[in-house]
Structure 1
Amino acid sequence: MKEHNREQFQADTGARRPEVVRDWGRFLEIAEPWERLRRQTHGFTLFQSHLWLRNSWEHCAGDKHQLFVACLWEGADLVAAAPLCITRGAGGSLAPRVLRFIAAEYADFARILLLPEDDAARLWALVEAHSDEWEVADFRYVPGDGLGTRSAKVPAGWRHEQQVMECARWIHFGTRPWRKCVKRTMRHSIERHRRRIEERGPIRFSRATEVREVEEYLEELADLHTRHWAQRGETSLFQFPGYRAWAVETALQFQKSGQLYLCRLLMDERPIAVGWGFLEDEQMLLYSTAYSHEVALHSPGGLLVAAILDDLQERGVATTFSFGRGDEEYKRRWSEEHSPLYRHLLTRRNARGSVHSMLFGKVLPLLWRHPTSGRALRELRRRASLIIGRAR
């Protein structure tokens, strides 16, 4: 977009001062106003927290990632923000520059930050004013209201595609016993599996509360996770040193803020299931789990979820349990409460943009939907990353 359009945008913002944060030091400076705005944003989650974004960027961003955090200010108050970045894949100058949410691949939900009853049209106008810096906008895992506006028009010369990408499920139990909030068949299944597994040995639930326990539980999670994926002939994310370092650092940081929920289920003092999650705003989100295949027939993952629900209710620390994104069968057995997560794709209305629309909007979703090709793509990407990492 030409420079005079940027100047026109700046003249139209009135009292609101626009800023695109590209410098890492500047992003660190705005932590306090960022968190104030996040706490006022409808549907906010920890994935938009300054802490999550900071840790993810420090551990996961590479040379092909550039900060592009769009902000609107009123005096010293941040009133709208979009935690975005520009990435470029393999292919050098031929690869498109893609505008995304920061660390979208590690987040369950993505959204902008916005004051209640406000509209983000001017924030997206700021992003559009810099559209000469990117060729594709690919916003994934966005709730229905996650982009914060219904009034912003698709910019001239661009096409917009919206796809349902994932599903999010949860159990809201409030003050009621959680067993009255799940399907009867699930309750009976859990009790049956509990009796059968206790025939093999006593089971015990525990939470990590100290630093050494956090490191120990994460090591157990990584081990079970790696074994699980290896049995499927695939590579676990925990085999990547960078991901493992990010997981440990993120867990320790959220432990300091009192939001970490790291737990395990032991049988004869051996871990048979480990869960990593977070607490915020009366909600517990289960981010990652792994279980032992030794007792897989007795649903150790389901027993872990039941133990978590018991603990949350006994201590009164949450009224909602979130499974995060993903619509796996075991989540459907637990809950019928769900909502879609969308993907918003913007490509240019020209020959090159048509290629991008076909690749990003048609080919990739087709491959993702097909189980065999989706797994093959994921595994090819992960093994290539491992080889490159070892070569360095």
Structure 2
Amino acid sequence: MMTEAMPLWVEQREEVAVFTELAVEWRGLLRRSVVDTIFLTPEFQRVWWEHFGHEGQLLMLLARDPAGTLQGIAPLFASTEAGQRLLRFVGGVDVSDYLDLIVARGHEEAVYRAFMQYLCTEAPPWDVLDLHCLPDHSPTRSGLLCQVCRECCPEGVEALPEQPAPYIPLPGKWEAYLDALDKKQRHELRRKLRRAQGEALLRWERLSDPAGLEEAVETFIALHRASHPEKEAFMTDAMAAFFRDLARALFPMGWLALYTLWLDERPAASLWCFDYGADLLVYNSGFDPRFRPELSPGIVLMALCIQDAIARGKARFDLMRGGENYKYRFGAREGTVYRLTVRCPRVAGTRAMPSA
């Protein structure tokens, strides 16, 4: 379909091949968007869909201008819950921290209008557009999409905070980072680093050799499961398979930063991070609880990762979704992700949206 306000052609794709066929174009559009995040790359989205999309129907919308240039992607899928047809982001909620519509910067209103007009007139019937994990700087949550949605669904649009997403803005030097911490936390962090280095043979590394990828991933999975009963429950065989395939997809791109800490030559802690753009994003962690608590392997490795991120010139150490206290002890500032829901009205079995 072609929209009237700005000539954008919307195409619907439902086959899995779209992730690989459009990969180069997709990444190019992502770089031109406001929300350029690892979770919206075709590589991450493809792996998620292959592992968790089996109960849904892919509903990928592409918006192109008359020259054929890709200006927007709505990476959606449809599923049915409690009798309602839901449209959600590919990436889900459990393993993706930031999701969004992918829209060329400066073309947000035209693309949002094109997508909503398509959803309200030509897409398969749906009841709720349920968009999780929108970053606080997303134009999608800032009002533009809400404004367009209200034209289609005047009484069914709601945008609310969903979860904290703390982050640490990084200075140029490690000492400057320490100086910015609360005095007590600065003292505690230095003390933990000295104790770990003084009471055990400490070694840590960020994986760089592809030959070591499988071993490093298995070490992470084992430490993740060992660190807490809730993490053990999370890391099912199916979830472990997802992490393995994600590592295989992202490591060749340079986007996987897998850190491991050894104490006395035994794996003590592991951090699964993403190195993407100017950010180092902490995705998940694990540690061996058999080590003496005062050695604090998880805290020590987190501090070493921050130090490494600063040395690599990163601007932001992103601790992502979840308001756990330890994040703020590292000096994190408050971020937020939002949830936008749009309820589709049914009038005599039809849906309509006024033209712009």
Residue in 2 aligned with 1:138? Answer: 130
Q: Deviations over 1:246-299 (max 9, x none)?
A: 211211221111121001111001111100111111211111111121233443
CA RMSD of aligned residues (A): 2.2
**Residue matched to 2:326:** 330
Does structure 2 retain, via aligned residues, the 8 Å contact 1:143–1:341? yes
What is the Cα deviation at residue 23 of structure 1? 1.9
- 1:38 is aligned to 30
Aligned residue in 1 for 2:156: 159
Distance 2:330 2:271 in 1: 16
Tell me the TM-score normalised to structure 1 length: 0.78
Deviation at 1:122, TM superposition (A): 2.5
The CA deviation string for residues 334-390 of structure 1, in whole angstroms up to 9 with x for no partner, is: 22422211111223568xxxxxxxxxxxxxxxxxxxxxxxxxxxxxxxxxxxxxxxx
Match of 1:239 among 207, 227, 236: 236
Aligned residue number for residue 106 of structure 2: 117
CA distance in 1 between partners of 2:340 and 2:85 (Å): 16
Shift in Å, 1:238:
2.2
1:145 Cα offset (Å): 4.2
Q: Alignment partner for residue 43 of structure 2, among 34, 51, 65?
A: 51
2:97: which partner in 1?
108
- Contiguous gaps of at least 5 residues in structure 1: 1-6, 351-392
More helix by share: 1
Question: Is the CA contact 1:65–1:87 (under 8 Å) kept in the aligned structure 2?
Answer: yes
Indicate if the aligned counterparts of 1:137 and 1:347 stay in contact, CA closer than 8 A: yes
Find the residue that maps to 1:133 and give its secondary structure: coil
Structure 1 residues 297 and 239, CA, compared in 2 at 3 Å: closer, same or farther? farther
Matched, 1:255 2:251: yes
What's the CA shift for 1:162?
Answer: 2.1
Tell me what 2:60 maps to: 69
Which consecutive residues of structure 2, in runs of 5 or more, have no partner in the other structure?
Answer: 347-356
CA distance in 2, matches of 1:284, 1:270: 25
Match of 1:340 in 2: 336
Larger RCO (CA within 8 A; separation ≥ 6): 2
Aligned residue runs from structure 1 range 272-291, under 5 A: 272-291=268-287
Q: Distance in 1 between matches of 2:133 and 2:293?
A: 30
Give the TM-score of the pair, scaled to structure 2.
0.86
Identity over aligned residues, as a percent? 22
User: What residue is the counterpart of 1:96 in the other structure?
Assistant: 84
Q: Distance in 2 between matches of 1:268 and 1:138?
A: 48
